[in-house]
Chain A
Amino acid sequence: MAADYPSSIRNFLVLYDGVDKVIANHPNYRGDEITALQTLVGAFGTGQANLTDLRNLLLNYIDDCKLTYTSVASVTVAAGKIVITDASGNCRWRKNTSPVVVTWADIDTGAEANDTYYIYAVADNVGTTFTIMISLNSTTPTGATFYRKIGSFVNSAGDIERDSVVMYPANLYTYFGEWETKVNDTIYQALTDGFICAYRGPDGAMTVLTDSSTPPTTIRGRHADSGADADDSYGSSTVPVKKGDYWKTTGASNVFWIPIKL
């Protein structure tokens, strides 16, 4: 096969029965035209290896398709585009133009349990869109051929935990989740990275503590104002918390948590 792939579609010579004599140039001319990957991608570079590299690059492509918490019984996969492969690396490029609400009706096998579930984009259907499957299996959903893991969540006490919903790959999308009101003098564990925002009224002392074991004893934020007087001031602290660490506040009048979603 010739290496000089065309950059535009050729107009083939039309042959007629009983009129034209077939010469070697006719089939050779067609044979120069296209090979498998060029059919898919179009002419690119000068060799087949370049196209394989390009295809491998595109295998990881995902645009939007953000996975977010919807309710205790559902999550949502936003509209977007994604490349989904089978076990051999064959790929299908799919696009959803509207969000998909994923419920327990989308589980691959069995029934809802209290465990970690994985979300897969699936491209086994005929068409241009992808479907969603929930599976306990962290690598292979039951009954799917073209699939790609895009996230996970934890189901606890029959409810999907809001902060447990994460998207893969973890470093692709980072955004803030919803504000949550928390209670002073109460220890929490951060299910994702996030921030504590706490404040107190005049005449008081507040601390924000967080570390890797409970009760957290490492002070990361502190503010105090003594005496009921004319220079009374409010105080606040904003403290980052690592995923898995414990945190609490003391002396705060209002406490908020905002998770970083992945």
Chain B
Amino acid sequence: MKVETTYGYIKDSEGHIISKCELPKGKHSLKNGYVYVEVATKADLNKIQVHILPLSPEKIRENKIKKEMNRILRDQAIKSLKEKGEIE
């Protein structure tokens, strides 16, 4: 790919913007399946939003479990310390 303005971004095969770029002018290698799009200025680059991959249902479920596990452990620790009179 050829970089002419320094500023640009890369899209994957699904059209998602996966990253912004600030690269030296000239030729650069681009992996298969990606497209480089150039913008004129740094200000234009700042307007670009990188696509955030949504969490999978499995990941959402695991995060909920971890949060609940941490909450239960925290409650038990507080209860135990209160019984020992170490905290109020």
Chain A interface residues toward B at CB < 8 A: 156-157, 161, 183, 185-189, 191, 212-215, 217, 226-231, 246, 248
Partner of B29, one of A157, A213, A217: A213
Partner of A213, one of B20, B24, B30, B63: B30
Partner of B20, one of A183, A212, A230, A246: A183
Which residue on B lies nearest to A248, using beta carbons? B19
Chain B interface size, under 10 / 10 to 19 / 20 to 34 / 35 or more? 20 to 34
B66 touches A227 (CB 8 A): yes
Partner of B66, one of A188, A212, A226: A226
Which residues from chain B contact A156 at a C-beta distance below 8 Å?
A: 24-25
Seed contacts A186-B20, A191-B24, A212-B29; 9 additional CB < 8 Å A-B pairs: A183-B20, A188-B21, A213-B31, A214-B21, A215-B18, A226-B63, A230-B70, A246-B23, A246-B28
A215 touches B10 (CB 8 A): yes
Give bound CA distance, A183 to B20, whole Å. Answer: 9
Give bound CA distance, A228 to B28, whole Å. Answer: 41
A229 touches B19 (CB 8 A): no
Can you list 6 A-B pairs with a CB-CB distance of less than 8 A?
Answer: A183-B22, A187-B22, A213-B29, A214-B10, A214-B29, A229-B74
Interface centre among A226, A227, A230 (most CB of B within 10 A): A227
Which residue on B lies nearest to A189, using beta carbons? B23
Known contacts A156-B24, A187-B10; A229 and B31 CB within 8 A of each other = no
Give bound CA distance, A218 to B50, whole Å. Answer: 19
A214 touches B23 (CB 8 A): yes
Partner of A185, one of B34, B50, B63, B67: B50
B81 to chain A, nearest CB (A): 13
A220 to chain B, nearest CB (A): 16
A161 touches B24 (CB 8 A): yes
Which residues from chain A contact B21 at a C-beta distance below 8 Å?
A: 186-188, 214
Give bound CA distance, A221 to B70, whole Å. Answer: 26
Which residues from chain A contact B31 at a C-beta distance below 8 Å?
A: 213-215, 217
B84 to chain A, nearest CB (A): 18
B71 touches A229 (CB 8 A): yes
Give bound CA distance, A228 to B34, whole Å. Answer: 35
A230 touches B23 (CB 8 A): no
A187 touches B66 (CB 8 A): no
Give bound CA distance, A213 to B24, whole Å. Answer: 14
Which residue on A lies nearest to B69, using beta carbons? A227
Which residue on B lies nearest to A188, using beta carbons? B22
A40 to chain B, nearest CB (A): 46
Which residues from chain B contact A226 at a C-beta distance below 8 Å?
A: 62-63, 66-67
B53 to chain A, nearest CB (A): 10
Known contacts A215-B19, A215-B34; A189 and B70 CB within 8 A of each other = no
A185 to chain B, nearest CB (A): 4
Which residues from chain A contact B20 at a C-beta distance below 8 Å?
A: 183, 185-187
Give bound CA distance, A63 to B22, whole Å. Answer: 36
B8 to chain A, nearest CB (A): 9
Which residues from chain A contact B67 at a C-beta distance below 8 Å?
A: 226-229
Which residue on B lies nearest to A185, using beta carbons? B50
A190 to chain B, nearest CB (A): 10
Which residue on B lies nearest to A230, using beta carbons? B74
Give bound CA distance, A209 to B47, whole Å. Answer: 23
